[in-house]
Amino acid sequence: MPLDKPYKDVPGTTIFDAEQSRMGYALNQFCMSLMKAENRERFKADERAYLDEWPMTEEQKQAVLARDLNRCVELGGNIYFLAKIGATDGKSFQQMAGSMTGMSEEEYRNMMISGGRPASWKPEEKK
């Protein structure tokens, strides 16, 4: 019997399942290494060289360099791991989450204050 993955059709959402986790292992472990202050410093000093120490795909490295979190998620990243990149950059969780929505930081913050995004949201409703 094939695995039941009913979450595949939820719009604008990638569920971090065992398959994504397998794909993203090295990417997420790289993120995890940024929990150490000395590694944050080494990464900031030469991002490319630091990334090259990890058995990540070139696509994953490019997504990290571009801080394209949606692409990172697509390639197996998980937001709690990716948050370590944000922490290294001095970004809050709200700034990181907002960066994935195509909204400006202020638009996203205001959306949250006025009650957040409805569960009925569909991508085409975006302006």
Partner 1 sequence: MARITASVYTSHVPAIGAAIDLKKTEEPYWQKVLGGYEFSRQWMEDNKPDVVFLVYNDHANAFSLDIIPTFAIGTASEYAIADEGWGPRPVPKVLGAPELAAHIAHSVIQQDFDLTVVNRMDVDHGLTVPLSLLCGETKEWPFKVIPFAVNVVQYPVPSGMRCFRLGQAIRRAVESFGGDLNVQIWGTGGMSHQLQGPRAGLINREWDNRFLDRLIDDPEGLANVPHIEYVREAGSEGIELVMWLIARGAMADVNGGGKPLLRHRFYHVPASNTAVGHMILEETT
Distance in Å, CB of 48 to partner 1, minimum? 20
DSSP label at residue 36: S
Residues 7-46 that bind partner 1 (CB under 8 A): 7, 10-18, 21, 24-25, 28-29, 31-32, 34-37, 40
Considering the rule CB under 8 A, would residue 2 count as an interface residue with partner 1?
Answer: no
74: nearest Cα among 65, 66, 61, 63 = 63
Nearest to 69 by CA among 12, 125, 115, 5: 12
**Cα–Cα dist 30/109, whole Å:** 29
Structure tokens, 27: 């990417």
Check residue 1 for interaction with partner 1 (CB under 8 A).
no
Q: How far is the CB of 38 from partner 1 (least distance, A)?
A: 11
Nearer to partner 1, 18 or 45 (CB): 18
- Output the CA angle 74-92-108, nearest 5 degrees: 75
State how far the Cα of 64 lies from the Cα of 73, in Å rounded to an integer. Answer: 10
Footprint (CB under 8 A) of partner 1, residues 49-78? 69-70, 73, 78
Binding residues for partner 1, rule: CB under 8 A, are: 6-7, 10-18, 21, 24-25, 28-29, 31-32, 34-37, 40, 69-70, 73, 78-81, 83-84, 86-88, 92-94, 96-98, 100-102, 108, 111-113, 115-119, 121, 123, 126
